[in-house]
Amino acid sequence: MSTPVMGGVCIVSHDPQVSPDDDLRDELAAAAREMQDDSPQEAMQRAVMLATEIIPGCAAAGVCVVHRGDRIDTHATSNDALKEIDVLQHELDEGPCLDALREDHTVRSDDLSTDDRWPSWGPRVVERLGIRSSVSYRLYLTDQDLGALNLYGKDASAFTDEDVHDGLALAAHVSVALAAAQKVQQLETALGGRTVIAQATGILMERFDLDPDRAFSVLSRMSQQNNVKLRVLAQQIVTTRQLPTT
């Protein structure tokens, strides 16, 4: 018999023949299938809510995403207070999320108030938010860093070795789902760009009686002369029905 919980995941009632590890694998597999149908934002949000449901020591969770230039943004949280945690990491340039991205794949702390790796960040988090424990996992595929999954506990030593292992399994599923969702989004953006370029080319063909190749060449030259990306220029032409002045 199954009981529905948040995020569309079902917790299967224990059977004498089914181990807790089997239950966890079933939950993660179900969640991973659903996350791959999500947008990147939905996949991340589903992951943080799942972490608080299946990992006993996890009171809150969040996902940070890496952008070009090593800029890191908080994209999903189970609790809005976690945004303050990440802001502090950026301001102080120290914290488990940063270390997971820069140095180690998995970063664990049993007591943030005394952890000498983050002498400024740790005590402030304990004082302001009552968070004492953390585990951060780098999200990546091959050599591509996608971000980090961060789990937080209210008590010291909130995460057992088994919890850390379960979190690692979740992070692996999140990496795959997030990468798949990002590829879909990138493809949709690319297709959208091709569509608007085709529309702008059609306008030039009609207005100046040009064949398709000639019209595209004119559009490309206008892009170079105006120092504007081709897709941006095409969108301007389609929206305004006017050609830019050089």
Q: Say which CATH number the domain at 42 has.
A: 3.30.450.40
Is residue 72 domain-shared with residue 194, that is, in the same domain?
no
For residue 11, is it within any domain? yes
Is residue 122 domain-shared with residue 195, that is, in the same domain?
no
What is the span of the domain harbouring residue 230? 187-240
Mean pLDDT of 182-187: 58
Residue 8 has pLDDT above 80, yes or no: no
Is residue 206 domain-shared with residue 107, that is, in the same domain?
no
Is residue 232 domain-shared with residue 152, that is, in the same domain?
no
For residue 146, is it within any domain? yes
Output the pLDDT for position 82. Answer: 85
Nearest to 184 by CA among 68, 61, 67, 43: 43
Domain's final residue, options 181, 204, 220 = 181
Output the pLDDT for position 22. Answer: 60
Taking a C-beta distance cutoff of 8 angstroms, is the pair 126, 135 a contact? no
Mean pLDDT of 223-234: 83
Taking a C-beta distance cutoff of 8 angstroms, is the pair 196, 173 a contact? no
DSSP output for 118-154: STTHHHHHHHHH---EEEEEEEEETTEEEEEEEEEES
For residue 167, is it within any domain? yes
For residue 35, is it within any domain? yes
Domain's final residue, options 181, 202, 225 = 181
Q: Interior CA angle at 92 toward 89 and 98, to 5°?
A: 40
What residues contact residue 195 under an 8 Å CB cut-off, 6+ apart? none
Output the pLDDT for position 127. Answer: 94
The three-class DSSP label of residue 157 is coil
Is residue 165 domain-shared with residue 197, that is, in the same domain?
no
Residue 229 CA to residue 236 CA, distance in Å, equals 11
Domain tally, the chain: 2
Is residue 170 domain-shared with residue 96, that is, in the same domain?
yes
Q: Say which CATH number the domain at 196 has.
A: 1.10.10.10
Is residue 11 domain-shared with residue 81, that is, in the same domain?
yes
Is residue 149 domain-shared with residue 171, that is, in the same domain?
yes
Q: If you ran DSSP here, which 8-state letter would residue 112 be given?
A: T
Residue 13 has pLDDT above 50, yes or no: no
Domain's final residue, options 181, 212, 232 = 181
Is residue 172 domain-shared with residue 204, that is, in the same domain?
no
Is residue 148 domain-shared with residue 233, that is, in the same domain?
no
For residue 16, is it within any domain? yes
For residue 246, is it within any domain? no
CA atoms within 13 A of residue 57's CA, in its CB half-sphere: 25
Is residue 225 domain-shared with residue 125, that is, in the same domain?
no
* Tens-place pLDDT, residues 48-105: 888 898 888 999 999 887 666 556 678 788 988 888 888 888 888 899 988 988 887 8
209 band by pLDDT with thresholds 50, 70 and 90:
confident
Is residue 176 domain-shared with residue 218, that is, in the same domain?
no
